[in-house]
Amino acid sequence: MSNMNYRVFDDSQQVVEALANSLLEYSEMARPVHISLSGGSTPSQLFSYLANSDYATRIQWQNLHFWWGDERCVAPEDEQSNYGQAKGLLFDHIQIPAENIHRIRGEDFAAAEVIRFTEEMLDTIPNAEGAVDQEGVPAFDWIMLGMGTDGHTASLFPGKTDYKTTEIATIASHPESHQLRVSKTAHLLENAKRITYLVLGASKAAVLKEIADNAPAAEAYPAAHVRSTAGTTEWYLDSDAAKELA
């Protein structure tokens, strides 16, 4: 598997346990740690596990700041809201300061929210040199990403992703439903210290193999392009997703 750092787990529960242990380790650092979450079934399983295990009290939540890779332009109460999913399954059940949760306001006008979200990240997250300023690109400690069967990640879709932009947030439109979303850009994602792709299930196996093989088809996949430029990019897979890998 060329130039790809991957870990294959037996099932999703093992993936979730590895992620939970990383969160515990991050929470023990003597500084604020900025983590970007994704939506989807694996994060949902992670949130439930954290809330209903001893991690709920072992993790020092006051040291962790949570953000999202993207958000659908819906209200937080909507079942499609990534923030709403995390709130209902995790945040409502743990002791975490409200100011540590940095949601994308999906219910607001998307163009205005891109500006507000950009400003909040610039004002809060240190750049790679450790400074918080308006000039540098924020450097997330850890970004969790999913991957669709079309190779998209966050709300960066094939044929619709600007890899050269220097913006850090953007408006995206789902190619089929045309639903609007607010998303981190590839430029911002690639500045993270650690990127972990969570790719589970047999439906992802063919796309994953194309990415691993640097196949021509993979050139269209945002998940094949978005890598940490200075840090770690890793792939957490279950046996079904990894079944076509050599």
Q: pLDDT, tens digit, for every residue of 220-231? A: 999 999 999 989
Helix axis angle for 82-89 and 41-51, nearest 10°, is: 20
Taking all residues of the chain, what is their mean pLDDT, rounded to a whole number? Answer: 96
Give the mean pLDDT of 175-185.
Answer: 96
pLDDT at 77 over 80: yes
Predicted confidence at residue 239, as pLDDT, reads: 95
Q: Quick one: pLDDT band at residue 133, thresholds 50, 70, 90?
A: confident
Percent above pLDDT 90 for the chain: 94
The CATH number of 5-238 is which of 3.40.50.720, 3.40.50.1360, 3.30.460.10, 2.30.110.10? Answer: 3.40.50.1360
**Higher-pLDDT residue of 133, 180:** 180
Name the residue among 6, 15, 8, 64 with its Cα closest to residue 44.
Answer: 15
Judge residue 42's burial from the number of C-beta atoms within 10 Å of its C-beta, 0-12 exposed, 13-18 middle, 19 or more buried: buried
Q: What percent of the chain has pLDDT over 70?
A: 98
| pLDDT (tens digit per residue) in 53-62 | 999 999 999 9
**Cα(77)–Cα(16) distance, integer angstroms:** 25
- pLDDT given for residue 3 in this prediction: 55
Whether residue 2 is predicted with pLDDT greater than 50 in this model: the reply is no
Domain range list for the chain: 5-238
What tens digit of pLDDT does each residue of 141-170 get? 999 999 999 999 999 999 999 999 999 999
- DSSP state, residue 239: T
Sign of the alpha-carbon dihedral angle for 114, 173, 35, 221: negative
Residue range 93-115: average pLDDT? 98
Give the span between the Cα atoms of 159 and 137, in whole angstroms.
24
- In Å, how far from its chain's centre is CA 137? 17
Mind listing the pLDDT tens digit for each residue in 184-210?
999 999 999 999 999 999 999 999 999
**pLDDT (0 to 100) of residue 28:** 98
Asked if residue 134 has pLDDT above 90, the reply is no
Q: Report DSSP letters for 86-150, one per residue.
A: HHHHTGGGS---GGGB----TTS-HHHHHHHHHHHHHHHS-BTTS---SSSPB--SEEEEE--TT
